[in-house]
Amino acid sequence: MINVTLFSSRAGNSLRIKSSERLFNILIMIRSPWRYYHCKRVGAYASIIANAIGMSKDQVRRMKTAGVVHDIGFSAINDRILDKKSSLTTEEYTYVKFHPVLGMRILDCYNFPQEIIQAVVQHHESFDGSGYPLGLKGSQISVYGRILFLAEAFDTMTSETPYRHASTIDAAMQSIKGMAGKTFDPDLVNVVLDSQEMSTFCLKKGHPTSGSTGQLFPTDDLYLP
Ligand SMILES: [Fe+2]
């Protein structure tokens, strides 16, 4: 069993500072340009959802940061596995599925806020309990984790990646709708379906048809320890 109990021991000890240099150092660990821009877009989508459900300004900022650093655990996984063109072996896939826990451990070393660590370690937990690393279900998953999972899925669906072509925004929204209550929190799905801001951001900055350069938002409004 993976130990994920450490967040509860250090709640409230984080500081907000403006440090784009520190952020850059962290993001560089993600290594791949594709993943770098993916992480920044996920931060934008996570903050849009957080704002739409009425989270405070500080929580919205933390969700944005959680999106930016959500895949930091990949920095601790061998390039041979990450860059592999053929299908992964069962053992390799097990390593890949460990990236949320690796991310949690890295962020804990940097004293990131508890909400951010919780979101990162839970960003592949599915609403029906079929996700990983712990197979948490429904309200066992923090709202931070539920938001981040949805934000990442939307960006993955609407982006051109090394593994698949981008869907249209409408097709992505339909897929997400079909996974409400199974993969995703149904209440959050309704928020995403109603959010004009998600689609607008995607059209301007996320979708390959936007021609965006990846300069998505300033880095000085994030929570960094
Ligand atoms: Fe991930």
4 Cα to the center of ligand 1, angstroms: 16
105 Cα to the center of ligand 1, angstroms: 14
100 Cα to the center of ligand 1, angstroms: 6
Residue ranges of domains in the chain = 19-208
What's the pLDDT score for residue 24?
54
What's the pLDDT score for residue 97?
94
124 Cα to the center of ligand 1, angstroms: 6
Q: Does domain 19-208 have CATH number 1.20.58.100?
A: no
What's the pLDDT score for residue 1?
32
Taking the chain (225 residues) in runs of 10, the rounded mean pLDDT of each run is 34 40 58 77 94 95 92 85 86 92 89 93 98 97 98 91 82 96 97 91 75 60 67
| Residue 67: both structure tokens together | 């999106």
pTM of the model: 0.83
139 Cα to the center of ligand 1, angstroms: 20
